Homo-oligomer: A and B are copies of this chain.
């Protein structure tokens, strides 16, 4: 028998393309089109390379304190990790240890089932309705945990706080994770509910609205109890996950609220304008409250449009999956980038 018999067999996953050519219009991974806050640049230029010889602070104190100050949440109710992927994966491992299935939408972020499989967690996908809305009743059944993004990805559909509170209040026996990766583009966070429900974990990220995808920073808010359990799990497996630049530059980013609000506003303005343009070109889409639009054209297949755009140097995201094969997920870029997209589509569709 070869050693290969004991190798874990997985389906290799291809991440969204990171083209290296210049001039590509990259609207495929929901990155922020604007740079991080100016304070990030300043701190980067004064960072002491000598300190890199030391291990980073395993408690991530500077970063957690900065998040605490900004969001007015005590430090012991905040957890941080290497992107929200790391935070959510750790939450699955820590909280989802029931024999009952965890619940999440059929159309949603593509890593939930991966982590469930990894940790041997049973799960059940609840179909979104025809308008890509969450069907509340599906989440009032017995379960070992609940997770969904709000706004949902890749649809951009936002559910309101009262509906989510209804789900949480009917599920006090399992942990409910709301993945708010895209909440800063017009949505209302369920963050205030952590004071009322000790089983609610709210996850956010620096990768979208804070323009720091390259730094890998995610964070979560919850009751003291939830956060302590997460930290216990994390410290028992790997104490030093976030490196020094993440901790320092992440803190700098959070401190600059004015810039943050300005760039989020710019992206929402661009989104408003692009929605009008797309509609007039024959596209339809759910009303996105995220930094992307999930759109399909009345005549052209998703696959054809995806290929045509790519040939023109415009990268968007497309899934060959049931119910969404005719949709493209188009990230909101700069106004100039979106003008080039619209110009191409006008020409292509005429």
Selected from B2, B41, B44, B96, the residue in CB contact (under 8 A) with A173 is B2
Choose one: B97, B213, B214; the contact of A6 (CB below 8 Å): B97
Q: Tell me, yes or no, whether A216 is within 8 Å of chain B by CB.
A: yes
Judge whether A138 is part of the interface by a CB distance below 8 angstroms.
no
Q: Mark A227-256, 1 if CB is under 8 A from B, else 0.
A: 001011101111111111110010000000
Q: A238-B89, A240-B85 are in contact. Are A214 and B56 (CB under 8 A)?
A: yes
Q: Could you say which residues of chain B place their CB within 8 Å of the CB of A54? A: 18, 26, 31, 213-214
> Are A49 and B55 in contact, with the CB atoms below 8 A?
no
Instruction: Point out the residues of chain B lying under 8 angstroms from A236, CB to CB.
Output: 10-13, 114
Instruction: Specify how many copies of this chain sit in the oligomer.
Output: 2
Question: Would you give the shortest CB distance from A213 to chain B, in whole angstroms?
Answer: 4
Whether the pair B199, A3 counts as a contact (CB closer than 8 A) is: yes
In angstroms, Cα B213 to Cα A244, docked, is: 9
Nearest Cβ on chain B to A51's Cβ, whole angstroms: 6
Q: Name the residue among A49, A51, A55, A243 with the largest chain B CB count within 10 angstroms.
A: A49
Whether A237 contacts B114 by the Cβ 8 Å rule is yes
Which of A32-40, A68-76, A156-164, A312-320 interfaces with chain B? A32-40
Given contacts A3-B199, A7-B97, A212-B53, A235 and B14 within 8 Å (CB-CB): yes
Residues of A within 8 A of B (CB): 1-8, 10-16, 18, 26, 29, 31-36, 40-41, 44-45, 47, 49-58, 82-83, 85-86, 89, 93-98, 111, 114-115, 118, 144-145, 172-175, 199, 207, 211-216, 225, 229, 231-233, 235-246, 249
